[in-house]
């Protein structure tokens, strides 16, 4: 049975949500929400469970988010959540005593019925912190009046405890409003505020050593106490992708890295004094089943941790001890998803490498479950290409691309070329000041590698990209002067002119706009679309897109008209970049799939019946 775009009670669809069960760990206890929606407190040592919040209470409050206080006495609920950017939102909040207390509204002292920009518990007891009108409020205990600890907030100018869209996901500090290339960048400062007695504001000074200001991806560093210099404590041709925890008692650091392969994320630990790195899950069989692992430690680094195994098999969540990583119990095995997967023709996933210059670069190939090398298949290249990004991974996922493979017998190709992440800084920085140029060369080399396979139909090749990938898919679509490579292409929210995009990105890779504009001019898509011939081209963009403004597409269309290009435009009026409406998202997926299905459709051939033979019959 093939994968469907539509929800089904009997199978796997894009709407099915497998549970990652990210937990809160407190001492030897876990707080998590089970499949029935009930919030459970579970003791690791005794294996006893206690219900903290029943699902019916969450439903009655129409709560989208919840958080339990450190002393387990109260729960904080968010409802009427309204997205701002990708990770930020405003919401109404209520407090409720566990397990059956009446809800109490959480407002600033000076107003009522107010939406907050953030609310959360402090590290102990019932400490509360929340943000209203870009100012920070603190409450020492539920029932006590909150105090405003910062009053400098100004809409669109100063964000206390928050970030604007430019820095969202990078920091949660203080900065100013939206900027494009050529404008002054927002500034960030970090403050410590004393809460015992009169509030005292101390601004932290950044270290003089520039390396201390950044997150080092490819190695750990520690101060040398004798010379105050930094020393690397890991080495090798691999990246440390996330530092998870430091066990001060045992002098161990836990981290994720790409030591095995760039497309994988295993859990490692480092003995600090011996600089010895070892895998936490050492079983070869286990490492084959699960190569993408997300781990959660508690802040005191107790004897336990939870692991979300995210691929390539169906995700599961388990609890382990830190001594030998033995599994203590399972929180979620996603049995229903596994049954659905077993009943579906899931794509076959293959990996290979191609050599470009001195690099061995990874490709991922998704083939139909019924693949036969005697059949001719259309090829769909899906590109991301954002500097530092990675599209070739071993995570479990079911997307519209899976539908193209399972239901429409296409082969999907993904490739991480120069400029991609987690393969070293040299590869990452190759694209500086020449965005688009090397990425096109590398992606086309991956396509040509696949076109050498006799089972690929060379007349049915398409390309798709979103955001920066939309820039690349549009950039690549005219490829091939004599024999065009692509029959069709689609771009979702494409970048078309980097001077219209976020200054932090554009200036990092193209330099300061207004000082040397040559790099900006060379990367404009206007120069590429004039080369389009018969390729069909679909552009999709939301008109209220706050990340990549609709102006990008409007400007592109002007040049497409001049080039007499064969394009179609699909817009989503008043929708933001990050679709919050499930129905619109469903419509989007359908539109993309239908476009490529039409593009890959084999044209009916006319019957061969020479007129001369007919005349002879007469």
pLDDT tops 90 at residue 206:
no
pLDDT of residue 6: 58
Banded pLDDT at 218 (limits 50, 70, 90) = very low
So what's the pLDDT on residue 182?
A: 60
Q: Is the pLDDT of residue 495 over 80?
A: yes
CB neighbours of 537 closer than 8 A, spacing ≥ 6?
A: 474, 477, 488, 489, 490, 491, 560, 565, 566, 567, 568
Q: What is the pLDDT of residues 394-409, one digit of tens each?
A: 999 999 999 999 999 9
310 — pLDDT class (breaks 50, 70, 90): confident
pLDDT of residue 301: 60
Tell me the backbone φ, ψ of residue 588, rounded to 5 degrees.
Answer: -60, -50
3-class SS of residue 326: coil
pLDDT score, position 230:
63
Express each pLDDT in 26-36 by its tens digit: 667 888 888 78
Between the CA of residue 564 and those of 180, 190, 464, 485, what are the distances in Å?
Answer: 30, 53, 21, 19
Phi, psi dihedrals of residue 432, rounded to the nearest 5°: -60, 130
Pair 575, 542: CB distance under 8 Å: yes
Domains of the chain: 345-599 (3.40.50.1820)
How many CB atoms are closer than 10 A to CB 360? 10
pTM greater than 0.85 = no
Per residue, the 3-state secondary structure of 177-215, as one string, reads CCCECCCCCCCCECEEEECCCCCEEEECCCCCCHHHHCC
Query: What mean pLDDT comes out for the span 166-174?
Result: 44
The average confidence (pLDDT) of the chain is: 83
Place of tokens 């939406």: 115
Look at residue 544 in the predicted model and tell me its pLDDT: 92
Each residue of 546-575: pLDDT tens digit?
A: 889 999 999 999 999 999 999 999 999 999
Pick the residue with more confidence: 454 or 169? 454
Question: Residue 304 has which token pair?
Answer: 């336990």
Q: Answer whether 54's CB lies under 8 Å from 38's CB.
A: yes
**pLDDT on residue 165:** 53
Check residues 100 and 208 and name the one with the higher pLDDT: 100
Tell me the backbone φ, ψ of residue 31, rounded to 5 degrees. -115, 125
For the cut 70, the answer to whether the pLDDT of residue 227 exceeds it is: no
CA 274 to chain centre: 35
Model confidence over 396-449: pLDDT tens digits?
Answer: 999 999 999 999 999 999 999 999 999 888 898 999 888 999 999 999 999 999
Q: How many CA atoms lie within 13 A of 73 on its CB side?
A: 9
Q: Is there a contact between 432 and 507 (Cβ–Cβ < 8 Å)? A: no
Q: What are phi and psi of 451, to 5 degrees?
A: -70, -15
Half-sphere exposure of 243 (CA within 13 A, CB side): 14
118 or 278, which is more confident: 118
At residue 333, the pLDDT reads 86
Give the model's confidence band at 179: pLDDT under 50 very low, under 70 low, under 90 confident, else very high.
low
Strands (E), 301-347: 304-312, 316-321, 327-332
Using the CB atoms, write b or e for 433-466: b if 16+ within 10 Å. ebbbebbbebbbbbbeebeeeeebbeebbbbbbb
Q: E-assigned strands of 526-606?
A: 536-542, 566-572
- Going from the C-alpha of 202 to that of each of 128, 159, 188, 194, 365, the distances in angstroms are 21, 17, 14, 8, 53
CB-CB neighbours of 140 under 10 Å:
16
- How far, in Å, are 88, 111, 112, 152, 367 from residue 116 at the CA level? 11, 11, 11, 17, 47
If one counts every other C-beta atom within 10 angstroms of the C-beta of residue 384, the result is 20
Residues 464 and 592: beta-carbon distance below 8 Å: yes
The β-bridge partners of 77 are 66, 94
Contacts of 576 (CB under 8 A, 6+ apart): 83, 542, 544, 545, 546
Host H or E run for residue 353: strand 348-356
CA dist., res. 386 & res. 601, Å (int): 31
Whether the Cβ atoms of residue 95 and residue 141 lie closer than 8 Å to each other: no
């Amino acid at each position: 049975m093939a994968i469907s775009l539509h929800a089904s009670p009997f199978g796997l669809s894009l709407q099915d949500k497998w549970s990652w069960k990210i937990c809160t760990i407190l001492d030897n206890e876990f707080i998590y929400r089970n499949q029935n929606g009930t919030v459970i407190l579970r003791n690791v040592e005794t294996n006893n469970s206690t219900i903290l919040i029943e699902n019916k209470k969450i439903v009655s409050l129409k709560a989208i988010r919840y958080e339990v206080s450190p002393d387990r006495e109260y729960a904080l609920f968010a409802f009427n959540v309204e997205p701002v950017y990708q990770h930020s939102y405003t919401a109404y909040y209520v407090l409720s005593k566990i397990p059956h207390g009446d809800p109490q509204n959480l407002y600033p002292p000076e107003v009522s019925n107010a939406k907050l920009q953030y609310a959360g518990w402090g590290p102990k007891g019932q400490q509360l912190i929340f943000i209203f009108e870009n100012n920070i409020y603190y409450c020492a205990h539920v029932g006590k009046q909150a105090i405003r600890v910062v009053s400098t907030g100004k809409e669109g100018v100063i964000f206390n405890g928050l970030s604007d869209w430019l820095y969202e996901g990078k920091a949660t500090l203080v900065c100013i409003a939206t900027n494009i290339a050529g404008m002054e960048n927002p500034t960030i400062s970090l403050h410590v505020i004393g809460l015992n007695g009169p509030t005292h504001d101390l601004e932290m000074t950044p270290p003089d050593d520039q390396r201390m200001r950044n997150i080092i991806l490819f190695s750990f560093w520690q101060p040398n106490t004798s010379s105050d210099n930094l020393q690397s404590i890991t080495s090798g041709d691999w990246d440390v992708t996330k530092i998870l925890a430091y066990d001060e008692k045992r002098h161990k650091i836990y981290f994720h890295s790409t030591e095995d392969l760039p497309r994988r994320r295993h859990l490692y630990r480092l003995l600090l004094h011996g600089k010895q790195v070892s895998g936490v899950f050492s079983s070869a069989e286990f490492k084959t089943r699960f190569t993408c692992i997300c781990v959660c430690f508690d802040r005191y680094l107790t004897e336990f941790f939870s692991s979300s195994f995210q691929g390539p098999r169906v995700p599961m969540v388990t609890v382990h001890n830190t001594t030998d990583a033995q599994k203590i119990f399972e929180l979620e095995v996603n049995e229903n998803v596994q049954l659905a997967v077993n009943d579906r023709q899931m794509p076959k996933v293959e990996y290979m490498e191609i050599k470009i210059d001195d690099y061995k670069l990874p490709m991922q190939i998704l083939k139909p479950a019924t693949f036969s090398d005697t059949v001719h298949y259309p090829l769909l290249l899906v590109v991301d290409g954002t500097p530092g990004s990675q599209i070739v991974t071993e995570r479990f996922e079911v997307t519209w691309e899976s539908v193209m493979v399972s239901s429409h017998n296409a082969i999907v190709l993904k490739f991480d070329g120069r400029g991609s992440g987690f393969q070293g800084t040299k590869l990452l920085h190759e694209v500086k000041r020449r965005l688009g140029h090397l990425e096109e060369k590398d992606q086309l080399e991956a396509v040509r590698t696949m076109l050498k396979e006799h089972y690929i139909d060379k007349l049915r090749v398409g390309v798709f990209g979103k955001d920066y990938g939309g820039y690349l898919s549009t950039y690549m679509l005219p490829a091939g002067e004599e024999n065009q490579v692509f029959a069709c292409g689609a771009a979702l929210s494409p970048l078309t002119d980097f001077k219209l995009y976020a200054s932090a990105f554009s200036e990092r890779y193209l330099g300061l706009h207004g000082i040397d504009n040559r790099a900006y001019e060379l990367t404009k898509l206007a120069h590429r679309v004039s080369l389009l011939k018969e390729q069909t081209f679909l552009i999709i963009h939301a008109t209220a897109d706050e990340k990549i403004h609709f102006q990008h597409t409007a400007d592109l269309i002007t040049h497409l008209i001049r080039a007499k290009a064969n394009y179609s435009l699909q817009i989503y009026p008043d929708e933001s970049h990050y679709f919050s409406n499930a129905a619109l998202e469903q419509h989007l997926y359908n539109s993309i799939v239908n476009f490529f299905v039409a593009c890959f459709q084999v044209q009916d051939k006319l019957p061969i019946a020479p007129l001369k033979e007919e005349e002879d019959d007469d």
